[in-house]
Amino acid sequence: MQNEHFQNIVAPMALQIAEMAYNQGFVHGQSVGFERGMVAGQFIGFAAAMDSVKPAISEGTRMRSPECARVLQGMRNLTSDFVTDDEYASLFEQDLIEAQP
């Protein structure tokens, strides 16, 4: 009698509760994953855009363009670790010189 009661009433109810919890968790996980994916995509796109225009801005700055200099300074202010190609090359050369015995 007790086993029949469990099989007929409690087990289906527990299954429904588990299914509802699964569906709610799935929907929540899907929305959180979408949001995190969008943030990661925006960051990757921003980084790619910065990398794609950096050589042109550096060249314009070398040619004494005040607009390019302002953009370059703005790029430096946006990112804490922004390094121009020239700065990176200078640092690389310094590392090579220091590494020589």
Range(s) of the domain holding residue 91: 2-99
Rounded Cα–Cα distance for residues 58 and 48 (Å): 16
Distance CA 32, CA 23 (A): 14
Q: What is the mean pLDDT of the chain?
A: 83
Q: Given pLDDT bands bounded at 50, 70 and 90, which one contains residue 19?
A: very high
Question: According to the model, what pLDDT value does residue 66 have?
Answer: 92
pLDDT of residue 82: 61
Please tell me the distance from the alpha carbon of residue 60 to that of residue 46, in angstroms, as a whole number. Answer: 21
Higher pLDDT, 79 or 70: 70
Q: How big is the chain by its Cα radius of gyration, in Å?
A: 29
Q: Whole-model pTM? A: 0.48
What pLDDT is recorded for position 31?
87
- Tokens 């007790």 sit at which residue? 2
CA neighbor of 60 nearest in space, from 72, 68, 52: 68
- Asked if residue 17 has pLDDT above 70, the reply is yes
Across the range 6-32, mean pLDDT stands at 86
The structural domain count of the chain equals 1
Contact call for residues 61 and 69 (beta carbons, < 8 A): yes
